Chain A
Amino acid sequence: MGICIIDEALTIFSWNKILSRWTCKSYEVTIRSSLLEHYPHLRSRRFLDRIQSVFENHQPCLFSPSIKHPFLPIPLDNEHSDGWMLQKTVIEILGDQKQFAQICVSDVTTQYRQIQKLRIEKEQHRLSRCRTQAILDCAADAIITINENGLIEEFNRSAEQMFGYKSSELLGRNINVLMPSPIREEHDGYLKNYLQTNKPSVIGTGREVLAQRKDGTTFPLFLSVSEVVMKEKNTTEKIRRFTGIMRDLTEEKRRESELKAARKDAERLSAFGLILDRSLNEIYIFDAETFRFVHVNKGAQENTGYTMEEYRNLSPLEISLDYAPDSVMNLVEPLRNGTEDGIKFTTMHRRKDQSHYPVEVYLEAAHLGPRQVYVAVILDITERQEVEMELRQASENALCADRSKSEFLANMSHEIRTPMTAILGFNDILLENLVKPENIDAAETIKRNGNYLINLINDILDLSKVEAGKFDVECIECSPLSLVNEVISLLKVKANAKNILISSRFEGAIPKTIMSDPTRIRQILINIAGNAIKFTESGSVEIVVRLLADVDDEPKLQFDVIDTGIGIPDDKIENMFLPFTQADNSTTREFGGTGLGLTICKSLVKLLGGDLSVSSKPGEGSKFSITVSTGPLKDVVPIKDHSESTAKCVDLQSTGGREKPLQNRRILLAEDGPDNQRLISWILKKEGAKVVVADNGQIAFDLASKANSDGCPFDTILMDMHMPLLDGYEATRGLRNSGYTSTIIALTALSMVEDRQKCLQAGCDDFATKPIDRKKLIGMILEHIERKEDERGSDIQSKAQPLLD
């Protein structure tokens, strides 16, 4: 401490050694001189005023060290600093006298320099700390520092984000909290081991480890650890710190596996892409989620014009005209939920040049590695569709042709039959009136030939119908007994003429009725038995009937026609059933016949549910066997005793002599053909009827209505179904609608089942087919008249009753 004493006038009275040394002014130099002399700067207000106040107020004065204004400017040139001495100066009034003041100057240079140095160091440290912190904060990687005990000392922002902790939560906690088991339990051991042995297992190298977040999830990270060793001042102890820098590998790993998968995909695709290219079909593979094409084969690319690259941006929606997003989803639904393995459908595809072509698609679900895909194999069906169309056209044409043919035949038959009826009819009239034998012969010849022609036409029509599959058979109740007896009585004349015995025989129990077509059975039996008579010179023709034992539930009735004729050689039997052949060409000449009969019979028998077979011994005879289905026989009464089998055998030959059956009956004939008018009128008049003729349906209707309203209706109306102005159907309907209840019998040239139905539906009671069978017609008229009279009788009776009451 440098000390000097001054008075109020600043005269120096004392100057100590230290001060001398500092100021290089000796005691001798300074004593009794003014302080201001030596240090003129003290003249400033700062110093003067304050020094004055010391003397005036006796107040102590304190001057703090300041480089700017040292009290005494003392230069220093030692190693601690260059510059001036820093001084703390205190000026106090001295003693009781209070005339003097003592100035104490303390050298605080070193102290203050140290302070400043410390300050700078602190600031540098602070800046350094800031910089480090900035780096830590900005780092994308997590940076964690731990001490020797594994406790966390630093935990940067990235670490907070990576692990999900706030740094405040983890400071001071063990680092192993960020590790999953079992590493967690082992870490302390590792650390201790390293501290002891200094053998690094992870220090300085980087490696992949598994870490654990706050929420418990684990994730991979890349870790590199470095050690910092610091030596503390004044100690021999080393402070060891470990800093870990971590990079979250989750994203990297995900990208890596994606890349690997993509590479694998590409490999797989190229491998069987070659196989797919071999196919001529178009093959498409598209992703089940995105619906974008993953691979298409060469065939597809060539056919549509798109390249594989272009396909990658397309989906089925762009290729097909039919697909909208919803409809595609519906389409693949069965594949999605597993109800179908593959679906097939046709649609229209669009090429790159916008042209269309029809395709058939077969779609399946599949896996391409881990990826779910759909595989579509597509066939261009342009050609197929064209062929299909051609076929359809041809089929339609054929049907058309067929229809025309049938219509033609039907028309032709009508056209031929009508004049034939007239020819035969008038021929009959002639026969009645001819006397000369040669004339009668001539008429008989005409008749024979006419019948032959009619039969031929019928046969041709039948055959064509059978061939066209248009032949319908009825299924009605009929009596086999009466059928057979009818046939026999019809053929008796012919047989008698050749002196051949024709008979029937029934073996076993025969059902009273069967469900079949009596007309056809009759036709067949007449044909076969007729042939038998034709080809037998002498002997017999027998028709044997028996019921065949049930085969399953289908009972059959068998008719055997056995003759003692010329027989048929074996090799000719086959050919017999072919159209227009007879066993021998010569037989036609000898025996006549159309040659169609057997063909038709065979087809008819088949339609009746049975079969036709022949066995023969030339020279001895033949046996023709026909079977027909009988329908269910559950409730049918079997007849054993055939003696009373004489069914209604209307012997129509014997009418002559008796009273005329149609005596006084009034009959309206509605018929437009003049020949048929004359013919049928003659037939009716012969039987005693009174005939009124109408040219067309309108006249018929008017006449019938008038007669009805007059109170004397016609007994029967014979209505030709095809007439001009108003045809038979309309006239009949009209009459029925107006309440006409008497008999109307239809006359029709058409013989198909539907036509008959039509007549009945129109309101007719019955029908007769042209050419008219005279006897049948008369019988029919009689039957209906009698029936109506019976009905009326009972009607009147029942109507009368209330009156009586």
Chain B
Amino acid sequence: MTLSENELDVLLEIINIGVGRASKSLSEMTGSRIELSVPNIEVIGRNGFVEMSEKLESTLDQSVLQSFQGDFSGRAVLGFPTRQAFDLARIVGGIEVTDVEMDDELFGVLEEIGNIFLNNVVGSIANMLDCKLSYMLPELCSQKFFKGLLKPGQPEKQSLALIADTSFSISENDISGSLILFFETNNLKELLFKASNPSGIVHTIQK
């Protein structure tokens, strides 16, 4: 399944609405202003999968994953390189450490951040597309997750994969990570289509 440019734009729009909400939530949590942005989004074609998974494996050391299913199913991942993950968890969690080493406390903070972020992103998509989803608890996943993508049969499952750069801006700190959306059902296009018609979108925004 492929998405047209138009459809991608719409999707990006939807995601950013969710990202905006996540921003608010995180800001409240920490008491300091956190700005999030997802400036663009890319489709990863089947051919680019292997290359992409290798790249993700090498760069994203700490990731939070949340699965969802219902009207459409898939997985959402928010991933960071260790340094970025460390800085994010430290700044947001208010934990003073000088060593670049993730421990359980830091993992916990990362989990919550991931939870907030992904809930809002996927939730936003679901709302806009007028779909009902059920979610699994967020889980921390390691680099090995991306390795798993190479398993035979898996590519079939991922009918659509989207990748976006995310930017967390907290006071003077800029922390960049990656957002990956895996859609395992083929109906995203028609859902988008449904949402694209004027009446659908108006309806959604009002909500």
A→B interface (CB under 8 Å) = 44-46, 49-50, 53, 57-66, 68-69, 88, 90, 92-93, 108, 111-112, 115-116, 118-119, 122-123, 126
Give the 8 A-B residue pairs with the shortest CB-CB distance, closest first. A64-B108, A64-B112, A62-B115, A59-B119, A57-B123, A45-B28, A64-B109, A60-B137
A-B contact pairs, 14 of them (CB 8 A): A46-B25, A49-B25, A53-B119, A57-B119, A57-B133, A59-B122, A60-B137, A62-B115, A62-B138, A63-B112, A64-B108, A64-B109, A65-B105, A122-B99
B28 & A60 in contact (Cβ 8 Å cutoff): no
Cα of A116 to Cα of B109 in the assembled complex, Å = 14
A112 & B104 in contact (Cβ 8 Å cutoff): yes
Known: A60-B115, A66-B93, A68-B94. 20 other contacts (CB 8 A): A46-B25, A53-B123, A57-B133, A58-B135, A59-B122, A60-B137, A62-B115, A62-B138, A64-B108, A64-B109, A64-B112, A65-B108, A111-B104, A115-B105, A118-B103, A119-B99, A122-B101, A123-B97, A126-B98, A126-B99
Cα of A115 to Cα of B126 in the assembled complex, Å = 38
Please name the residue on chain B nearest to A122 by beta carbon.
B99
B126 & A57 in contact (Cβ 8 Å cutoff): yes
Q: B58 at interface (Cβ–Cβ under 8 A)?
A: no
Please name the residue on chain B nearest to A89 by beta carbon.
B112
B138 & A60 in contact (Cβ 8 Å cutoff): yes
Q: Which of A88, A112, A119 contacts B97 (CB 8 A)?
A: A119
Please name the residue on chain B nearest to A88 by beta carbon.
B108
For window 63-89 of B, CB contacts with A under 8 Å fall at: none
B112 & A112 in contact (Cβ 8 Å cutoff): no
Q: B202 at interface (Cβ–Cβ under 8 A)?
A: no
- Across-interface contacts of A93 in B (CB, < 8 A): 134
Render B151-188 as a binary contact track against A, CB cut-off 8 A, 1 for contact. 00000000000000000000000000000000000000
A123 & B99 in contact (Cβ 8 Å cutoff): yes
Cα of A59 to Cα of B101 in the assembled complex, Å = 30
Cα of A134 to Cα of B166 in the assembled complex, Å = 41
For window 128-146 of B, CB contacts with A under 8 Å fall at: 132-138
User: Which of B127, B133, B134, B136 has the most CB atoms of chain A within a 10 A radius of its CB?
Assistant: B134
User: Which of A53, A59, A60, A63 has the most CB atoms of chain B within a 10 A radius of its CB?
Assistant: A59
Q: Which of B25, B94, B104, B133 contacts A66 (CB 8 A)?
A: B94
- Across-interface contacts of B93 in A (CB, < 8 A): 64, 66
Cα of A69 to Cα of B94 in the assembled complex, Å = 12
Q: Which of A44, A64, A115 contacts B111 (CB 8 A)?
A: A64
B105 & A62 in contact (Cβ 8 Å cutoff): no
Cα of A62 to Cα of B135 in the assembled complex, Å = 12
Shortest beta-carbon distance from B27 to chain A in Å = 10
Q: Which of A49, A90, A115 contacts B28 (CB 8 A)?
A: A49
- Across-interface contacts of B126 in A (CB, < 8 A): 57
B103 & A58 in contact (Cβ 8 Å cutoff): no
What is the number of residues of chain B that contact chain A, defined by CB distance less than 8 Å? 30
Cα of A115 to Cα of B133 in the assembled complex, Å = 36
- Across-interface contacts of B135 in A (CB, < 8 A): 57-60
- Across-interface contacts of B201 in A (CB, < 8 A): none
User: Which of B98, B104, B137 has the most CB atoms of chain A within a 10 A radius of its CB?
Assistant: B104
- Across-interface contacts of A90 in B (CB, < 8 A): 137
Q: B29 at interface (Cβ–Cβ under 8 A)?
A: yes
Please name the residue on chain A nearest to B97 by beta carbon.
A119
Query: Given A66-B93, A66-B94, are A60 and B105 also a contact pair (CB < 8 Å)?
Result: no
Query: Given A46-B28, A46-B29, A49-B28, are A58 and B133 also a contact pair (CB < 8 Å)?
Result: yes
- Across-interface contacts of B122 in A (CB, < 8 A): 59
- Across-interface contacts of A112 in B (CB, < 8 A): 104-105
- Across-interface contacts of A88 in B (CB, < 8 A): 108
Please name the residue on chain A nearest to B98 by beta carbon.
A123
For window 44-63 of B, CB contacts with A under 8 Å fall at: none
- Across-interface contacts of A111 in B (CB, < 8 A): 104
- Across-interface contacts of A66 in B (CB, < 8 A): 93-94, 109
Cα of A122 to Cα of B98 in the assembled complex, Å = 10
Cα of A552 to Cα of B105 in the assembled complex, Å = 135
Cα of A49 to Cα of B123 in the assembled complex, Å = 14
Q: Which of B101, B108, B132, B136 contacts A60 (CB 8 A)?
A: B136
- Across-interface contacts of A116 in B (CB, < 8 A): 105
Shortest beta-carbon distance from B18 to chain A in Å = 11
Please name the residue on chain B nearest to A56 by beta carbon.
B123
Shortest beta-carbon distance from A66 to chain B in Å = 7
- Across-interface contacts of B116 in A (CB, < 8 A): 50
B105 & A61 in contact (Cβ 8 Å cutoff): no
Query: Given A64-B93, A64-B108, are A50 and B25 also a contact pair (CB < 8 Å)?
Result: yes
Please name the residue on chain B nearest to A65 by beta carbon.
B108
Shortest beta-carbon distance from B165 to chain A in Å = 24
- Across-interface contacts of A62 in B (CB, < 8 A): 111-112, 115, 137-138
User: Which of B99, B135, B136 has the most CB atoms of chain A within a 10 A radius of its CB?
Assistant: B135
Cα of A66 to Cα of B126 in the assembled complex, Å = 31
User: Which of A49, A118, A126 has the most CB atoms of chain B within a 10 A radius of its CB?
Assistant: A49
Cα of A259 to Cα of B8 in the assembled complex, Å = 90
Shortest beta-carbon distance from A649 to chain B in Å = 148
- Across-interface contacts of B115 in A (CB, < 8 A): 60-62
Please name the residue on chain B nearest to A49 by beta carbon.
B25
User: Which of B29, B99, B122 has the most CB atoms of chain A within a 10 A radius of its CB?
Assistant: B29
Please name the residue on chain B nearest to A111 by beta carbon.
B104
User: Which of B99, B116, B126 has the most CB atoms of chain A within a 10 A radius of its CB?
Assistant: B116
Q: Which of A58, A65, A92 contacts B137 (CB 8 A)?
A: A92
B137 & A115 in contact (Cβ 8 Å cutoff): no
Cα of A90 to Cα of B103 in the assembled complex, Å = 20
- Across-interface contacts of B112 in A (CB, < 8 A): 62-64
Cα of A111 to Cα of B107 in the assembled complex, Å = 13
- Across-interface contacts of A118 in B (CB, < 8 A): 103
Please name the residue on chain B nearest to A68 by beta carbon.
B94
- Across-interface contacts of B111 in A (CB, < 8 A): 62, 64
Query: Given A68-B94, A115-B103, are A58 and B134 also a contact pair (CB < 8 Å)?
Result: yes
Cα of A59 to Cα of B97 in the assembled complex, Å = 32
B123 & A59 in contact (Cβ 8 Å cutoff): yes
Cα of A668 to Cα of B174 in the assembled complex, Å = 147
- Across-interface contacts of B108 in A (CB, < 8 A): 64-65, 88, 108
Cα of A234 to Cα of B94 in the assembled complex, Å = 34
Cα of A189 to Cα of B193 in the assembled complex, Å = 85
Cα of A44 to Cα of B25 in the assembled complex, Å = 11
Shortest beta-carbon distance from B91 to chain A in Å = 13
Render B23-38 as a binary contact track against A, CB cut-off 8 A, 1 for contact. 0010011000000000
- Across-interface contacts of B28 in A (CB, < 8 A): 44-46, 49
Cα of A473 to Cα of B165 in the assembled complex, Å = 138
- Across-interface contacts of B105 in A (CB, < 8 A): 65, 112, 115-116
Cα of A104 to Cα of B87 in the assembled complex, Å = 28
User: Which of A49, A53, A64, A69 has the most CB atoms of chain B within a 10 A radius of its CB?
Assistant: A64
- Across-interface contacts of B133 in A (CB, < 8 A): 57-58
- Across-interface contacts of B119 in A (CB, < 8 A): 53, 57, 59-61
Please name the residue on chain A nearest to B96 by beta carbon.
A119
- Across-interface contacts of A108 in B (CB, < 8 A): 104, 108
A119 & B103 in contact (Cβ 8 Å cutoff): yes
Cα of A111 to Cα of B106 in the assembled complex, Å = 13
- Across-interface contacts of A92 in B (CB, < 8 A): 137
Shortest beta-carbon distance from B102 to chain A in Å = 11
Cα of A63 to Cα of B138 in the assembled complex, Å = 11
Cα of A494 to Cα of B112 in the assembled complex, Å = 174
Shortest beta-carbon distance from B32 to chain A in Å = 12
- Across-interface contacts of B29 in A (CB, < 8 A): 46, 69
- Across-interface contacts of A46 in B (CB, < 8 A): 25, 28-29
User: Which of A45, A53, A57, A108 has the most CB atoms of chain B within a 10 A radius of its CB?
Assistant: A57
User: Which of A65, A66, A68, A122 has the most CB atoms of chain B within a 10 A radius of its CB?
Assistant: A66
Please name the residue on chain B nearest to A53 by beta carbon.
B119
User: Which of B97, B111, B119, B138 has the most CB atoms of chain A within a 10 A radius of its CB?
Assistant: B119
- Across-interface contacts of B97 in A (CB, < 8 A): 119, 123
- Across-interface contacts of B101 in A (CB, < 8 A): 122
Shortest beta-carbon distance from A120 to chain B in Å = 10
